[in-house]
Structure 1
């Protein structure tokens, strides 16, 4: 059994397709099939079921893939430690991010980091909260930008920033008109019980935050639309289709031609805490430590100055 065979099996399991896996591994498909057949013969176990449209792991395959990922991750950590001992500045860092967070924080962080560490390759991976927690726990990302609370117990985290949660309403909404007429600065969540809500889809951490806020107000939100994109949520709000909770950092500039009206929620004003998470006990390379330090510096300068 060779390390490359472990890599082949993990890639096949991820893509569920020999052609795509071979392309990503930069080998010919027949060679990939031959290596898998050789490994299965050595193990005396079939690792995948071939169907017309896809490749699915058998039970033995699922066990093998899980163990192979642990081994490959341990090898990668060993390489990182050796690189660090050699005072090497080059490296590769896989950073996971929520779409909401990544689109606002990474443009602030990445230019500064690449200026300081030009030889370190950053690989970005965007996904849902639940999926990123799984990927980070299994070592498939070195770091992930997430918001509390985390559901995966094997993760540890460092705080980055705490930001206020705002209420987005259509410009013609009664709450927007009242705010403009009276200068009213905030809204009680209980007042929103009969409102139509636009929420992010399942798997997004901010969706859970929205449900928890509504629960504090004594109701379950009446959901009229769901989207995987916070920009779509805001566009639907601006078009008069409902209201939504949004993080402070994504609120659109007032000059936008299609923007909601943003209102504050009553004291204590709700907030969310953004964190950088990694697997508990995982070796953090100098590149990862430097990335965390750069994030904290850039975020403090940009958002809290």
Structure 2
């Protein structure tokens, strides 16, 4: 009940409106209003100042939320410690990340984890990186997947893999004939033979300027892959002409396969994405087209045995691209 009270109050605080919060919570406004009024009666103080719009917390409300968050953290820590004593026969684990990270890096590890620890309930939470970090700091997420970009000092980061980032060119474009010397066969990447292929080439990295006149599929610059593409444009002194903007890497990959433009894709996506079709792959600017991926958690948080065991399995499952 205490967690429900906190969730209801936080939702009202986020929405600055009881009616909007009720809609998000899928309950009626009168029921939510009555629930909050009951909590306020028990507290002996108003949580929200209803005389102003948008709705605001009172000083008592802010104190109440802070106290309830701390209590929720203690309750969760107790649950995790008891789960540890039970040798992972029961418990829960929540893992967050951008949809792209969750799709690319988690499935194999989760499949192995649930076989070894069937009593642990797993929740996967998708969201933007700022949202996921916020949820972790609010004790709503145990672990999250993050790239080596804009790391939060309040969290611990354990490296799970290092990966290259490939330029993807529509497979039927004529420029692939011109650049055949630098084109990387998909089977080389998927078999783990890329390092050998690179050593056999005198100059394995294509000049990104070759694509100066071609259309691109872009991601936002506040996304890591989008930022890498922007750095490539800046280094080679040109801006994309015609382009399409996409929200997800897998969307940009599909658009490249359709012939719409050039995009970027990571080594981890190719290794773990169960992809059936492939564009033409190239590597460029080795110091830009790479990144590390981490599993992370708040520094002050008790790291449960379930979390520790999952990290071990996750690292092992991604060993092929580390």
TM-score range, shorter chain: 0.7 to 0.9
SS in 2 for 1:186: coil
SS in 1 for 2:217: strand
Other-structure match for 1:237 = 256
Q: 1:255 to 1:108 in 2, by over 3 A?
A: closer
Tell me the distance in 2 between the aligned counterparts of 1:179 and 1:204: 28
Other-structure match for 1:136 = 136
Other-structure match for 1:110 = 110
SS in 1 for 2:255: helix
* Contact preservation (8 Å) 1:160, 1:299: yes
Tell me the distance in 1 between the aligned counterparts of 2:249 and 2:267: 12
SS in 2 for 1:187: coil
TM-score, normalisation: structure 2: 0.76
- Per the TM alignment, residue 37 of structure 1 is displaced from its structure 2 partner at its CA by 0.8
- Is 1:212 the counterpart of 2:231? The answer is yes
Tell me the distance in 2 between the aligned counterparts of 1:269 and 1:9: 45
SS in 1 for 2:179: helix
* Contact preservation (8 Å) 1:179, 1:185: no
Other-structure match for 1:78 = 78
Tell me the distance in 2 between the aligned counterparts of 1:221 and 1:178: 20
Other-structure match for 2:282 = 263
Q: 1:181 to 1:162 in 2, by over 3 A?
A: closer
* Contact preservation (8 Å) 1:130, 1:204: no
Q: 1:272 to 1:21 in 2, by over 3 A?
A: same
* Contact preservation (8 Å) 2:47, 2:62: no
Tell me which protein shows more strand as a share of its residues. Answer: 1
Tell me the distance in 2 between the aligned counterparts of 1:269 and 1:193: 18
SS in 2 for 1:122: strand
SS in 2 for 1:273: strand
* Contact preservation (8 Å) 2:13, 2:56: no
Instruction: Give the one of 203, 210, 219 matched to 1:200.
Output: 219
Partner deviation per Cα, 1:97-154 (whole Å, 9 max, x = no partner): 2222221222211111001100000000111223222222222211011111234321
Q: CA RMSD in A?
A: 3.4
Written as runs of structure 1 = structure 2, the 5 A alignment for 1:1-305 is: 4-13=4-13, 16-18=20-22, 20-21=24-25, 32-41=32-41, 42=43, 44-47=45-48, 57-60=55-58, 65=65, 68-180=68-180, 185-201=204-220, 203-219=222-238, 224-251=243-270, 256=277, 259-268=278-287, 270-300=289-319, 302-303=320-321
Unaligned runs of 5+ in 1: none
